[in-house]
Structure 1
Amino acid sequence: MPTAAPERQVGNLPADLTSFVGRRRELAEIRRLLSVSRLVTLTGVGGVGKTRLALRAAAEQHRAFDAVWLVDLSGLTDTKLVAETVAATMGVRDQSEPSPADALIRVLAGQRTLLVLDNCEHLRDACASFANRLLRAVPDLRILATSRQSLGIIGEYQMKIAPLAVPEPDRPLTGRAPELYDGVCLFQERAAAIVPGFHLTPDNRDAVVELCRRLDGIPLAIELAAVRLRALSVDTLVERLDDRYACLTGGSRTAAPRQRTLHALVDWSYQLLSPAERTLWSRMSVFPGHFGLEAVEAVCAGDGVEPEDVLDLVDALLDKSLLLREEHHGEVRYRMLETLREFARNRLGGPDERRSPARRHRDHCLCLVERAADEWFGPAQAGWFARLRLERAHLRAALEFSLNEPAEAETGLRMAVLLFDPHWMPNGLYSEGRYWLDRLMRAAPEPTAVRAEALCQDAHLAFMQGDRTAAEPLLGMGRAMAEKLDDRRLLAFASLISGIAAHQRGDHARAAVLLEEAADVFTATGHVLSALVSLFCLAASAGYLGDAERAGRLFERSLALAESHGESWIRSILLGHFAIHEWRQGDYGRATSLAQESLRAGRGFDDRVTIGLALETLGWIRQSTGDPVGAARMLGAADGVCRTAGVTALWVDRHREFHERCASALRAEMGERAFGGALRRGQWLTLDDALAEALGEQAAEGGTGERDEDHGPPAEPAPSPLTPREDEIAELIAQGLSNKEISSALVIAQRTTEGHIEHMLTKLGFISRTQIAVWVTARKAAGRNSDGAPPPPHPR
């Protein structure tokens, strides 16, 4: 019986919080353009609704793709981090590829993906280069971009987004005629949300039409105006717009008229703020991306804004739609639209006035990182892991400030070093960590203890990526500097990294010497976290050297040390290595328990390297205990959860040997076809499903369906969840007929056929007709008791 396709994450499109008004023609045109072009760029003035239109278009077409991803670039200022930002949004780490772009290419290969790149204008060249590279390498990729100008690469289709339709001047409108215009409809809907019961009447109709005309149908301008109905009538709104437009008519004549109109409206909203609201709003423009109340209080209070007033002022700005409220993992955060942020930033004044909040922002981020580093080795670990992931755009901005400000690079380097344990490593941000460390070390070349530690960290990140050529010189320089400084802790850290590198390449005798040296120093000096890492790595090396008794004692000591401090992440890593040791000793029950506990401990960190190793280890154990199907599924699951993030669990040479040995044994026992089928079933498991199966939280899904003496014939397929008519349509889809051909064959309307297919996709949990065809074929094969059912269909 074919295994049911697991549900898979297919992207990150946000749900609509307000109604979507109009744009039917534009949506149809975007669908058409994406069918003939692989890159479509929506261009237009700021505030015209490019982002909202792109999101709606992407949502309407999600069934045509395996995955639809939104990447918001508005908070990014460094052109070199476009690929890194896309990879981070998609959850793709970069351990196994030389660059984030290469990792993305490998992950995207073979699947239909729609990538929405939002707010590209300030990164135009970088986005163009990135898009061009991906499109050339991944044939099934489509990109929908939003920008104030086209990206300017071959094959791009540019679609200019006009403002919403509004009535022409001096055209008489009676009855409900104004509601035929999208601009008027948008104002009416947003106004009703502000003033319950608001609707067009003979008394306000002309004023509403005039207001929408004067705002040129720009959605952002209309929405900001609607908010003012809290305090003003529509007639008063029109009068105030007269004054504000007049005062800006002397602006740049080279700017587009609608840009001047939008600027006038934002300036008008700004002038209506109280002095404290203006000050706070302008200072908040220092924040890239979303931010929390704590950051506003730390960075923006003082000099005209009392700390105790910040909450009320933020609430007032939310009411005026100058801030957006969002929830991230249960935490309320705020975001400023980029158009508004740019306006607010210009109100900060000269360079000195802008530098002050930027410095306070950097100092706030530094304090946050210092707290995270201090509390990382303990029960608060999971909370700090999640918090720093939320603050990633802010950490980047703080590091960039340190690079660009005279005499601040050393502070930035210290911040980057502090991020090593709680951010770069558990997130698998090996390339980004190296990027910042390299830049900051070039800017701060002084032979300090911070630089020596940065060199060793940089080397470790390179070792994790398998880049030994770059890692060895870095580690050598770090050790030499530590010797010159006569810093005992740094010398021990260099020994720790050297020991891990030796363990990685299989030189366990050398590794044991270095790791024991490091463990002794860290234990004596009270550096518990580094002592723990040294001890469990030493345990693993001792085991490979044949001293199983010592290895067991060291693993138990390490485990007790981690548990006594309430630590989770490193504990999950050492449990995984302890499981491998027990498996090699033949204690399969203990090995299974340890591997499963590793998964439980590390579940909240999304550390795919550690999760993948535990799943891989369970595969080796199951092969050793006579469960070949379960073993193959675990090997597939390990590969799948790592491959989707662009990392590998097999970064240690000996682990690759164990994998190859296990896979060879399974092929010999099961046969290539049965092994491949079980492996693929494991690869299709989502992360949650793979964890659930590994932990025994749900019944393992069916075997390979292969007929052989050990496993017997495949099971009969379960009854179809479809109606008889839907079964007919599914059969015709499997035969390759189009919707039109199916309608003709069954003598039903094409719209009826499309409705049936939508219902079928929902019932089966699929998102494409191709899946239905594969599902039908698989059921037929299982029903005939053929020599093997195909793997479950990819949830497209």
Structure 2
Amino acid sequence: MAIPAALVRQIGNLPADLTSFVGRRRELAEIRRLLSVSRLVTLTGVGGVGKTRLALRAAAEQHRAFDAVWLVDLTALDDPALVAETVAATLGVQSEINPVDALARVLTGQRTLLVLDNCEHLRDACASFANRLLRGVPDLRILATSRQSLGIIGEHQMRVAPLALPEPGRPLTGRALELYDGVCLFVERASAVVPGFRLTPDTTADVVELCRRLDGIPLAIELAAVRLRALSVGTLVERLTDRYACLTSGSRTVAPRQRTLHALVDWSYQLLSPPERTLWSRMSVFPGHFDLEAVEDVCVCGDVEPEDVLDLIDALLDKSLLLREEHHGEVRYRMLETLREFGRLRLDGPDERRSLARRHRDHYLALLERAAGEWFGPAQAGWFARLRLEQAHLRGALEFCLHERGEADVGLLMAALLYETYWLPNAFYSEGRHWFDLLLKSAPEPTAVRAEALCADAQLAFMQGDTAVAELLVGEGLALAEKLGHAKGLALGSLVSGIAAHQHGDYARAAVLLEEAVAGHTAAGDGLAALVGLLTLAATAGSLGEEDRERRLFERSLALAESGGDSWIRSWVLTVVAVHAWQRGDAERATGLARESLVVGRDFDDRLALATTFEVLGWIFETGRRDASAARMLGVAEELCRAAGVSTQRVASYSQSHERCVIALRERMGERAFDRALRQGERLTLDDAVAEALGSRPDEAPGAEPDERLGEDRPGRGERAGPEPSPLTGREREIAELISQGFSNKEISSALVIAQRTTEGHVEHILTKLGFSSRTQIAAWVTARKAAGGHRRDHDDIPRRPRRAR
């Protein structure tokens, strides 16, 4: 997943309005006033009254007053223990220990508005979270929506009433009707369904009566407006009145508005065909947005045929009972919670609910197994983004395993898969431990899956510095794996123990354990785990003074990462090898490796990896006396660390090198110049930071004050900023450009209508002239020249860019 371009002043993630916002002027003004005097404002009201839409509108109108405005939708979250983790994940904050503390570190110093949507089912957890975060972040404001107030000190509650409607007996003139938001909303939505619809003397009374019958509830009004495709307003009122006659005689403890909304939803349900009703109720199993593949896999059986699913979904979309969304270019669907609850109640008893929940779990288990099978390879980036989209479903599947009798073992298997593909790459250590701990208690049987889960749980505990618990877990896991003769569990236990021993400086023990881990994972065909072990073993050999072995192991790590097609762990390999090359005095190779790491890893949301790479580049630039660039790289690293919720020293893992670099820069540049360059780095967007790291030399850093030039990075008076003229021929530059776009040699040959052997010869010439060893380095070089403006001169003799061959 790509990281947001701005590292500090981000608008956030507010969705764009898909329909017009009608009315609520007084409510918006009141929210604005309350947020000026209170740091927590909670909008309360019945379901369907429009709390979410009002909160989003208020947040959008005030975004200029804040550095960032973030929406956190808690609708799909069922576990109160994961409220803080969910907020942290939404903001892109990677927490190693305490997500609330990490959020506080990230948000301190920024004016932030946090919209917590749908808190009612997690009221206590949301109240505790909001209270702790508000105490730790002075400039934070929280706007919450809930059917009940959170009940903490300092909270201002604002009830969201139904939309205004004319009172009975009031004259219904056109001008007067414009004052009533309920009528305006119906007319607005009706005109979208029936072009040209407007109030007339013949329809006004019926429209007002309809809105009154619906008590001004926005969701009910919008659902009713859809029915104008088939019915007149008068018929709509008549049929709705008849429907209420039998549906409002239920429980007297339910509020009238809730009975009214239920009546409308039930009426909409009754108008559907039997297959549409069935699919609606079955789709209630999805706790978040979902895709077509999931519907076909989970909901198809009985009177819902596979070939009918798409048409049925289209029908539900047309009736506004299902929402269409796009995520990363992929179409997904979502059901409003009110409609989802209604559909769930229409399922045929607990047996059908249990069967659907199991099918839902099986679908996402199969998805995880596919992800794990393809994780160490070129499909990794796609899976990284996909699993983030499926977070609500993965949690829901784990909940089923946890609470359904006899399913905890399957839950442990899912957790073990999530550990490798989701929790580790995203630094979701707390969430991983949460699920492992619960499932390990629920599945005490001595199985191979349990042995692996114990070791994986131990690794997450080690990452958080919880050494005592981690050692107990890995000890139990290794003992069980040995008892069962489970080779994979033994290899994982050795890997976890070896990494921990290396981190604690017990290099002799680490070497033995890591050798066992590499051998075990290699034999099992687990390339990713073998690579992690090999990389750590190389670093361990260096710490033991075995420089020749260190060099050989690093080379093997690089070769394995390159051949596997992995991007995430490969970026870490490149950075670690760059550090050791720099420590051995090979600054040129260290620079190339670190830059390649940025190109490979920038599409992942691993800010820890990116921050480490920028930190290393800061050391390298300082060694080369590029002081201003070095300081800016440290500033970029510091800002990324802050966004990730960790300290610079923790990310760099080489505190002595960091301190030495800072001291040297302060001495040569002076305090004022160093601090100015550091601030410039903190203000760089990620794209600008990468461009500079890859070789661009901007004339002036973004955000610099007038006349605050960048020292040695500034071109001389009258000079044009940019790279030196390209050493490549026109044809070689053309091929280099295609390489940067991801073309293979075969595709380049087809696009340029030349022999593949000719293309291969050109690529070899490019590598030789530039002193590179990989195509990724060529891509990085092209990117850097583009950022510096050199690509225009490079391509003056290239008439057009060929299209990728089909």
State the TM-score, normalizing by the size of structure 1: 0.86
Amino acid in structure 2 at the alignment position of 1:68? V
- In 1, distance between residues paired with 2:7 and 2:516? 48
Deviation sequence 1:637-658 (CA, Å, 0-9, x none): 1121122121357548952222
The answer to whether the 8 Å contact 1:299/1:360 transfers is: yes
* Alignment match, 1:50: 51
Deviation sequence 1:637-696 (CA, Å, 0-9, x none): 112112212135754895222222222222233233332222222223333333233223
* Alignment match, 1:767: none
CA positional deviation for 1:485: 1.7
Q: Which ranges in structure 1 are unaligned for 5 or more consecutive residues?
A: 717-796
Question: Larger relative CO (CA 8 A, sep 6+): 1 or 2?
Answer: 1
- In 1, distance between residues paired with 2:34 and 2:705? 42
CA positional deviation for 1:259: 1.0
CA positional deviation for 1:702: 3.6
Amino acid in structure 2 at the alignment position of 1:140? D
**Matched residue of 2:644: which SS?**
coil
* Alignment match, 1:456: 455
- In 2, distance between residues paired with 1:468 and 1:606? 27
- In 2, distance between residues paired with 1:64 and 1:710? 31
* Alignment match, 1:385: 384
* Alignment match, 2:786: none
State the TM-score, normalizing by the size of structure 2: 0.85
* Alignment match, 1:28: 29
Amino acid in structure 1 at the alignment position of 2:238? E
- Where do 1:631-650 residues align within 5 Å? 631-648=630-647, 650=649
- In 2, distance between residues paired with 1:641 and 1:635? 10
The answer to whether the 8 Å contact 2:115/2:143 transfers is: yes
Distance 1:693 1:176, change over 3 A: same
* Alignment match, 1:40: 41
The answer to whether the 8 Å contact 1:169/1:213 transfers is: no
- In 2, distance between residues paired with 1:555 and 1:616? 20
- In 1, distance between residues paired with 2:581 and 2:594? 10
- In 1, distance between residues paired with 2:289 and 2:405? 28
Amino acid in structure 2 at the alignment position of 1:412? G
Deviation sequence 1:157-190 (CA, Å, 0-9, x none): 1111111111112323134432332111111111
**In the alignment, structure 1 residue 555 sits paired with structure 2 residue 554:** yes
Deviation sequence 1:558-612 (CA, Å, 0-9, x none): 2222222222111111011111111111111111110111111111211112111
The answer to whether the 8 Å contact 1:166/1:181 transfers is: yes
**In the alignment, structure 1 residue 473 sits paired with structure 2 residue 472:** yes
The answer to whether the 8 Å contact 1:612/1:648 transfers is: no
Distance 1:62 1:710, change over 3 A: closer
Deviation sequence 1:375-401 (CA, Å, 0-9, x none): 111111111111100000100000011
* Alignment match, 2:785: none
Distance 1:673 1:623, change over 3 A: same
The answer to whether the 8 Å contact 1:706/1:713 transfers is: no
- In 2, distance between residues paired with 1:660 and 1:509? 28
- In 2, distance between residues paired with 1:635 and 1:527? 36
**Matched residue of 2:290: which SS?**
coil
**Matched residue of 2:603: which SS?**
helix
Deviation sequence 1:695-734 (CA, Å, 0-9, x none): 2357274498899999599999xxxxxxxxxxxxxxxxxx
* Alignment match, 1:788: none
Distance 1:696 1:18, change over 3 A: farther
* Alignment match, 1:564: 563
**Matched residue of 2:148: which SS?**
coil
CA positional deviation for 1:126: 1.0
Identical residues among aligned pairs (%)? 73
Distance 1:491 1:689, change over 3 A: same
The answer to whether the 8 Å contact 1:503/1:652 transfers is: no
The answer to whether the 8 Å contact 1:447/1:481 transfers is: yes
Of 346-355 and 424-433, more deviation after overlay is shown by: 346-355
* Alignment match, 1:346: 345
- In 2, distance between residues paired with 1:267 and 1:698? 64
- In 2, distance between residues paired with 1:398 and 1:363? 8
**In the alignment, structure 1 residue 187 sits paired with structure 2 residue 186:** yes
- In 2, distance between residues paired with 1:706 and 1:332? 46
**In the alignment, structure 1 residue 406 sits paired with structure 2 residue 397:** no
Distance 1:648 1:434, change over 3 A: farther
Distance 1:70 1:453, change over 3 A: same
Deviation sequence 1:296-328 (CA, Å, 0-9, x none): 111111022111111110110001111111111
Amino acid in structure 1 at the alignment position of 2:11? V
Deviation sequence 1:724-754 (CA, Å, 0-9, x none): xxxxxxxxxxxxxxxxxxxxxxxxxxxxxxx
- Where do 1:215-254 residues align within 5 Å? 215-254=214-253
Deviation sequence 1:214-263 (CA, Å, 0-9, x none): 11111111100111111111111111111111112212212211111111
- Where do 1:132-147 residues align within 5 Å? 132-147=131-146
* Alignment match, 2:99: 100
Of 537-546 and 270-279, more deviation after overlay is shown by: 537-546
Amino acid in structure 1 at the alignment position of 2:443? A
* Alignment match, 1:431: 430
Of 411-420 and 554-563, more deviation after overlay is shown by: 554-563
* Alignment match, 1:537: 536
- Where do 1:183-582 residues align within 5 Å? 183-582=182-581
- In 2, distance between residues paired with 1:709 and 1:396? 51
How many pairs are equivalent? Answer: 710
The answer to whether the 8 Å contact 2:43/2:158 transfers is: yes
- In 1, distance between residues paired with 2:684 and 2:288? 33
- In 1, distance between residues paired with 2:629 and 2:385? 33
Deviation sequence 1:451-507 (CA, Å, 0-9, x none): 111111111112222322322222222222222222233222211112211222333
* Alignment match, 1:129: 128
**In the alignment, structure 1 residue 671 sits paired with structure 2 residue 647:** no
**Matched residue of 2:666: which SS?**
helix
- In 1, distance between residues paired with 2:243 and 2:587? 77
The answer to whether the 8 Å contact 1:506/1:653 transfers is: no
- In 2, distance between residues paired with 1:507 and 1:296? 52
- In 1, distance between residues paired with 2:646 and 2:691? 21
Distance 1:67 1:228, change over 3 A: same
Amino acid in structure 1 at the alignment position of 2:10? Q
Distance 1:466 1:682, change over 3 A: farther
